[in-house]
Amino acid sequence: MTLSSFIRYPVLLLILLAAILCSSAYGQKKSKGKKKSKTMSVGFQIKPIFRNQFFTGGNVGEVQNQVEFKIEPRLGFAGGMVVRRDFGKQWAFESGINYVRRNYRISVNDLDSTYAEQAIFSIVQYEIPLSWLIYVRLGDNLYMNNSLGLSLNMFKRSEVGKSDSFDYEFFRSTWLIPGLVANLGFEYRMKSAGAIYLGASYQLPFSRIITVEIDYYHNKGVESFSERMGLSYFTVDLKYFLPIKNEK
């Protein structure tokens, strides 16, 4: 799969999703009755990815023949588009598409020679979350949101890097893997300016599909290290929803 194809497929899925939701909303607008129509909200979000010390967030390490290998997560970033469809006053379905970039630091420490070297690499993916959301009204304009659902995660095929004394490569065992996604936060709704949301999310993929291989070259030969990485992550979420008009 080429890079252009990797980018094109998630965009096509998002266009299809938006078309389905828009057509459904149009049908709701045309129908008449006393029941309040469902509304659709569109917005944008940014989500810094923080180091995760409590779950399998990518920390791996091992000492082999007096050579220490470490892989540690660094600050990452996720962002994209959000589409939300309300079902009554308390329930909603939320989806969209996000670009996710997770950064890692590789450290190789030769304990015999005290030689040490580091390198930074990134894992890039696209994700399509599918979450069921419930609102708890706390005030006139303030709501607490809780959501739980699945996320479809799509990864690049592989990436190769090189430093002065070691080579590294990460590759996936499959291009698509689902994961569990949970979210908790607070939303402030303004009558004519949309809505602002601040919360936190956690995603846990159902299996480890990324393998990292490192080959360290020293005077005794080559020392190789291989490990399958856990890709769960924790984010702080900031969302903005565009203003909408409720259909009557």
Average pLDDT over residues 79-95: 92
- Can you give the residue ranges of every domain in the chain? 3-241
Pick the range with the lowest mean pLDDT from 6-20, 42-56, 114-128, 177-191: 6-20
Mean pLDDT of the chain: 81
What local confidence, expressed as pLDDT, does residue 62 receive? 84
| CA distance readout (Å), 209 to 117, 157, 181 | 26, 11, 17
- Is 163 or 201 the better-scoring residue by pLDDT? 201
Considering the four listed CATH numbers 1.10.10.10, 3.90.105.10, 2.40.40.20, 2.40.160.20, the one that applies to the domain covering 3-241 is 2.40.160.20
Read off the pTM. Answer: 0.76
- Give the tens place of pLDDT for each residue, 216-239: 998 888 989 988 887 888 999 999
Which residues, 6 or more positions from 185, have their beta carbon under 8 angstroms from its beta carbon? 144, 145, 197, 198, 199, 200, 237
Calpha distance 99→78 (Å, rounded): 5
> For residue 202, what pLDDT is reported?
92
